[in-house]
Structure 1
């Protein structure tokens, strides 16, 4: 399944994983929110509720472009740099192509996440 991430005149796509946490995230779409920069490594936002962790691994080592869910805090994180293995991190999918830099530079403009109809 494909995710569309749009802000300003930019549209990115992402390929989503098939797992319970991702399906729970999809059930909340569309979401329009502002992203916050965290630790000069990722952009984060908090969905309206925590997502399920059913069947999720204990942790994950994210790479640049990965879309993840950090279960302990309840935030969705999009990594624009590689990062170390983190307990409680669940992979939801990844940004297609090499366009993560556009998202990295976003400031306060709203970002919309929605399923891309194919």
Structure 2
């Protein structure tokens, strides 16, 4: 849930990062708008476990973890970049509204 209003649904991939995040749900974090393409929360280097991080492209709506800075990201705009990432999941639906936000409180929870 974004700012206690917009509800998004995501499909998650099975890996070490996703399992760790799911074990902490529900949780709320502040995510900041970076590079006019992503919402980002930095856990810091080694903030989350990884087991499949490599250079890859992304799709709009992807949720990923960038290990060098320990960044959990929601990618809302495509710029063609390929970067080291651990896939976490993909949001079903339009995420373009993030482009208008400087930051947002986002609650992650498992749907009952």
| Alignment partner, residue 93 of structure 1 | 89
Q: Which runs of 5 or more structure 1 residues have no equivalent in the other structure?
A: none
Superposition CA RMSD, Å: 1.9
Q: Which ranges of structure 2 fall in alignment gaps of 5 or more residues?
A: none
Please state if 1:53 is matched with 2:47.
no
Aligned residues: 110
Calculate the TM-score normalised by the size of structure 1: 0.80
Can you list the C-alpha shifts for 1:48-73, whole angstroms capped at 9, x where unaligned? 8711112x042221111100000110
How far, CA to CA, are the matches of 1:20 and 1:34 in structure 2?
22
SS in structure 1 at match of 2:48 = coil
TM-score by length of 2: 0.84
- What are the within-5 Å matches in structure 2 for residues 1-118 of structure 1? 5-47=1-43, 50-54=47-51, 56-82=52-78, 83-87=80-84, 89-97=85-93, 99-117=94-112
Structure 2 vs 1, CA of residues 58 and 112 (structure 1 numbering), >3 Å: closer, same or farther? same
